[in-house]
Chain A
C-alpha cells in the first residue's frame, strides 16, 4: 500500500521520468523536449528544497551559537548548557522559575491528554454510530478553536478561571489544562478522525456487541487497539500544543514552560536560547516519531479487510479533485 501510494501521489518526479521511457509511443522529438523540461524542473525543485532547508536551519544554528557565546565578549562557554543539565539544584536558583514552568507544562500535558481522550474518543465513536446527526456539529466545534484567537478566548476565560481558582479548585497553573483541551481539539480531532475513518467501526462494534461485550469493553478492547496510531498521534500533537502554549498562561498569569522562558530571557538570555533550541528540537522529534507511528498504523486493519485495498484508488481520485 505504501509503495502504491508513493507512486500515485508522487508521480510528478519519479513517475514522469519512468513514464517517459514506458509511455511514449508518439514523437521522439517531443520526448527529448519533455526530458529537458523534466531536468529543468528537477533542478528548480532541488534549489527550492535546499534553500528552504537552509532557511529553516539558520534559526536553530543561531540559537545554539547564541547559547554558547557570551554576548558582550564573544567568549565561548557552555555555562548555559551546564546550568540546564545540572537540573534543579540550589546552585542555580535563578532557574527555579524555569523548572517550575517545565514541571507545570509536563503535568498539563498529561492532564490535557487524559481529558482529551476521555472526552473526544467516546464522543466521536458515538457520533459515528448514531448516524450523521451530530457529526457536522462535532466537527465544527472541534475545528472552531483554530479560528477563535486564543487571546479572545482568554478574555472570556478570565471570569471563568476566577470562579475555578476561588470557589472550585485553587489557583494552581495546572488547571489551565481545562482550557488547553479546547486548544488541542482541532489537532486531536483530525488525528482521531483519520484513525476512525480507516476502520470499519460499525462492523467491529456490532460484532463485539453481538458477542455480548459491554460498551466499555468495546471501546477499550476493540476500538482503542484498532486506532492506536491515531490516539498516539492525537496525544503527541496535544503535548506539542501544551508545551508551546504561551498566550493563555501569560494572560491568566500562570507559570508554564513558555512564560518561564519569557521571564528567564530577561535575566539569562543564553539559557533561554538553549532551552528554546531543546524545546524546538524535541517537539520536532516528537512529531517525526508520531508521523512514523501514524504511517505504520493503517497497515494493520488493511490485512483484515481486503475491500479497503480495492476502494483505495477511488478514494484518492476523490481527494485530489477536492
Chain B
C-alpha cells in the first residue's frame, strides 16, 4: 500500500526533469516507463511465489492434458487421439458418468437440504450439531475409500444390514449389489447428501425468524412462507449447490474404485486403466483425451454456476 503513492510521486517528479533537459524527451520517457515497469513488477512480486507454485502444480498439469490430447506420438499436432476416443464405448462411459452424477446430485440436494434445515434448527454450539457437521464433511470430502468399506460392511455378502434384512424380513440383498449401478448410486448418495448438508446449512442458517413472523402476521401459512418467502431466497443457493454436487460426483473416483475392480464404468476409472496400462503408449493419449472431456464437462458446469451467480447478484440489487 505504501509503495503505491511513492512510485506515482517519483514518476511525476521524473517527467518535468526529462522535459526540462529538453534534449531527448523520448529516451527519458522510455527510461521512466521502463523504470515504472520494473517498479510495477517489484510491487507485484508478492504474488510470484504463489503464481509459480500453482503454475507448476495446477496450471501446468491442466495445460499438459489439453496439449496432450491434441498431440500425436511424434509430438506434432493431431486430432487422432480425439478421433480414436470418439467411439461408442467412450460415449457410453461419459453418459453413465453424467447420469450417475445428475441422479445422485438431485437426490443428494433434495434430501440434503431437508437435513440441513433440521440441522440449522439445533443451537449452533450444540455437540450434536458440531459432530454431525464434522462427520458429514468427512463423509463428503475425505472418506471415499473408507465409505466404500463401510458399505461392504453394511450391504456386502456378510454385511450387517444384509444379515438383518435376511433374518428379519427374509429379504435377500443381491450379492452383486455393490458392484452394480444401483449400488454405486446408493453409495454416491451417501456422500452427496453430506456434501449438500455442509454446503446448504449456511444458506438455511440465514433464514431469519422475523421473515416467518412477518409472513404469519400477514395471515400467511407455513406453506406460503416456504413457497413465497424462503423458497425464492434459497432457490439460487440450491441450484448452485446442485451444480457443485454434480461436479463432485462427476469427478469422484475413490469410492467406485474401491467397490468395482472388474469393469470400467465411469470416466475416472477409464482414465485409471489407461494410465496404468504402461505397455501401450497410445493409452496415455487416450487418458489425456478423456481428461480433456472431463475438463469440458466441468467447464460447462462452472459456466452455468457463474451465470447463476451473476443473475442472483443482479436480482438482489
B8 at the interface (CB under 8 A from A): no
Judge whether A6 and B125 touch: CB under 8 Å.
Answer: yes
Chain B residues in 8 Å Cβ range of A149: 250-251, 253, 268, 294, 298
Contact of B142 among A67, A144, A240 (CB under 8 A): A240
Given A159-B64, A284-B134, is A65 in contact with B298 using a C-beta cutoff of 8 Å?
no
Contact segment of B25-33, B88-96, B176-184, B205-213:
B205-213
A306 at the interface (CB under 8 A from B): no
A312 at the interface (CB under 8 A from B): no
Given A56-B135, A152-B294, is A280 in contact with B160 using a C-beta cutoff of 8 Å?
no
Interface residues on chain B, size class: 35 or more
Judge whether B115 and A48 touch: CB under 8 Å.
Answer: yes
Judge whether A127 and B46 touch: CB under 8 Å.
Answer: yes
B231 at the interface (CB under 8 A from A): no
Query: A129-170, CB under 8 A of B: which get 1 and which 0?
Result: 111011001100100111111111111111110000000000
Judge whether A158 and B206 touch: CB under 8 Å.
Answer: no
B258 at the interface (CB under 8 A from A): yes
Q: Which B residues from 132 to 186 make CB contacts under 8 A with A? A: 132-139, 141-147, 149-154, 157-161
Complex: A240 Cα to B46 Cα, angstroms: 29
Judge whether B146 and A244 touch: CB under 8 Å.
Answer: yes
Judge whether A155 and B251 touch: CB under 8 Å.
Answer: no
B16 at the interface (CB under 8 A from A): no
Judge whether B46 and A276 touch: CB under 8 Å.
Answer: no
Q: How many residues does chain A have at the interface if contact means C-beta atoms less than 8 Å apart?
A: 109
Chain B residues in 8 Å Cβ range of A304: none
Centre residue among A12, A153, A286, A295 by max chain B CB count within 10 A: A12
Contact of B124 among A6, A41, A130, A262 (CB under 8 A): A6
Contact of A59 among B136, B137, B154 (CB under 8 A): B154
Judge whether B50 and A288 touch: CB under 8 Å.
Answer: no
B217 at the interface (CB under 8 A from A): yes
Query: B290-301, CB under 8 A of A: which get 1 and which 0?
Result: 110011001001
Given A45-B121, A62-B150, A127-B46, is A247 in contact with B57 using a C-beta cutoff of 8 Å?
no
B56 at the interface (CB under 8 A from A): yes
Q: How far is the CB of B309 from chain A (nearest CB, A)?
A: 10
Q: How far is the CB of A131 from chain B (nearest CB, A)?
A: 7
Chain A residues in 8 Å Cβ range of B272: 151, 250-251
Sorted from nearest, which 3 A-B pairs have the closest CB atoms? A156-B61, A11-B209, A149-B251
